[in-house]
Structure 1
Amino acid sequence: MIRLINRTLLCLAILHAAAAGADEPQSLTAKVDGAAFAADDHTILLVPLKGTFTLQAATAGAAAYPPPKTPIDRLSITCDAFTPGQPMTLGAKDFASSDCRATFVKGAAAGAEGDEYALDKSGAGILFEITVSHGKVIEGRFAFPMKNKAGKALTLSDGHFVAEDRQL
């Protein structure tokens, strides 16, 4: 039992040290069909891997305990053609011919499934841009036309993010 407690305390200390070592506050904002969407430092995850990255975000406050009773929206962007330290711009033509994906799940009431939207690669106005990339931090902007399985459209616009790779 003492070993378990010691291991748990060690894990918590490592996690605290990793969070304390975070140099850049993370943020992500966008408009979803004109309504504001914002993620906070605790609900953004950036995972860059050899030539690809994944950027995920959830409604600000979603990482709180107890979790909020309001619906939680979730955004996920995964793309190849990523080179750390380099700016990058992808438009509709790039998305059509690459392995890039974006999904947005509109939160639903507790216990219900959210409505999932996927990138509409044939839609107009596709943009994903990394404007600044330094160290473990990337900053950029995005806009995506999306559709759900029923064909209902949704527009993510005026997106801006600052995200840091916080993997140990």
Structure 2
Amino acid sequence: MRRIPEFRIVRWEIKVLYVVLAWIVGYVVVDLVRSIGAPVVVVSLVGLATTFVSFALAVRIFRGADEPVEPPRPWWRMTAWPTLSRRLGILFTVLAVVCTVGITLAVAGVPGTESTLDVGLAAAIEVAVTCAALAFLYLNSAVRMSRLGIVKPVPLRPDARLKF
């Protein structure tokens, strides 16, 4: 019998299914905590915890094409290749900046930003903190892989043209 840490997901379809199920489970857990009347701070902390647990598990069990399946990844490695880590790091950086600007404008009382406060300041801060932390982790992963010389192998493609 295999233990959970030895379980690996390689196919992209199963990765998407994992992400969808993790999001649903996180939403249900947070909604359950909210429904029992927990304070907003507790609900936000539970939201952060469910997000980080699902990401932590995903980066341990997801494997990229041509990435070794058996050995565990180093603790700092978030993806199979530096390019994907860099792209995700940039995405989460942009999201963190947008959230932070939105929160700042809403708190300053700029007209048109009331929707940020309608969602809830704690929830908006939770999203900004989550995005900033994930940005740091992905960018750190990209830098470390690049320094170690880890690159995605170039696939060998046969020449399909007919030669006469």
- Shared fold by TM > 0.5? no
Higher radius of gyration, 1 or 2: 2
Structure with the largest fraction of helix: 2
User: Which interval holds the TM-score relative to the shorter structure?
Assistant: under 0.3
| TM, length-normalised to structure 1 | 0.25
